[in-house]
Amino acid sequence: MKKLILSFCIAIFALGSANAQGVDFGVTGGLLNTNADINISALGFNIANLDAVNKTGFYIGVLVDIEATEKFHIQPELTYGSAGDLSFFYLPIMAKFYVTDGLHLQAGPQFNFSSNLDEIKGAIEDIEGVIGTGGNVDDVLKSTAIDLGFGAGYDINENIMVQARYAIALTDRYDGPLGGSLDIKNATFQLGLTYFFK
């Protein structure tokens, strides 16, 4: 993951400094809300759905807008987000479809790497303590996940864009003794501002 982040940073700065036509480098930041749900099931039946974490914080990062055609752009980003005791690095690769002048829709995969999941760990420890599985939570909680992101944005002018995005988890973060009986998936909502250097 660290090599992937480093490679992305190098590529972003190379593209930004190249000043190529149809490629714009920018910075972004704004509001972040992250929500982690823990689903408990047995014998194929859903027993409980716990809203383990719901925190609001911020995100900051860098991005590149690559114009493939006038209506279709690709927008890779690298952002850092923090909410409560949770912190993540996000690597979304959004396809942007311009539906009208300035207004676009976004969709694409988002890879995320957690650098702190203490609040989710606390919730799992409580559940495993009640059920009696115990164990080291650090060994059963995955630090990486894949999400599906979708949203919309609007170009206020050639330099400033506002965007909103919601991402849902495609992968489960839990890999412990409860196996398929316990699933942890998180969702994120971002509302932010982007400035492109042109």
Model pLDDT for residues 131-171, shown as the tens digit of each residue:
444 555 555 567 788 999 999 999 999 999 999 999 998 88
Q: Which of 59-63, 69-73, 83-87, 144-148 has the lowest mean pLDDT?
A: 83-87
Q: Give DSSP secondary structure letters for 82-118.
A: EETTEEEEEEEEEEEEESSSSEEEEEEEEEEEEEEEH
Per-residue pLDDT at 28 = 97
Query: What range defines the domain where residue 188 resides?
Result: 2-197
> How many domains would you assign to the chain?
1
Q: Which residues 6+ apart lie within 8 Å of 148 measured at CB?
A: 107, 108, 109, 110, 167, 168, 170
Dist. CA 98–CA 165, nearest whole Å = 15
Phi, psi for 12 (deg, rounded to 5): -65, -50
Q: Is pLDDT at 65 greater than 90 in this prediction?
A: yes
Per-residue pLDDT at 171 = 80
Mean pLDDT of the chain: 79
More confident residue, 3 or 32: 32
Q: Is pLDDT at 122 greater than 90 in this prediction?
A: no
Length of the chain, in residues: 198
Confidence of residue 67 (pLDDT cuts 50, 70, 90): very high
Dist. CA 196–CA 65, nearest whole Å = 9
- 3-state DSSP assignment of residue 143: coil
Identity of the highest mean pLDDT range in 44-53, 83-92, 102-111, 139-148:
102-111
Cβ neighbours, 10 Å, residue 20:
12
Percentage of the chain beyond pLDDT 90 is: 45
Dist. CA 24–CA 63, nearest whole Å = 8
Per-residue pLDDT at 76 = 95
Angle at 97 between CA 80 and CA 61, to 5 degrees: 15
Confidence of residue 186 (pLDDT cuts 50, 70, 90): confident
The whole-number average pLDDT for the span 120-125 is 62
Give the CATH number of the domain where residue 92 resides: 2.40.160.20
Q: Is pLDDT at 127 greater than 70 in this prediction?
A: no
Dist. CA 133–CA 98, nearest whole Å = 51
The whole-number average pLDDT for the span 9-32 is 72
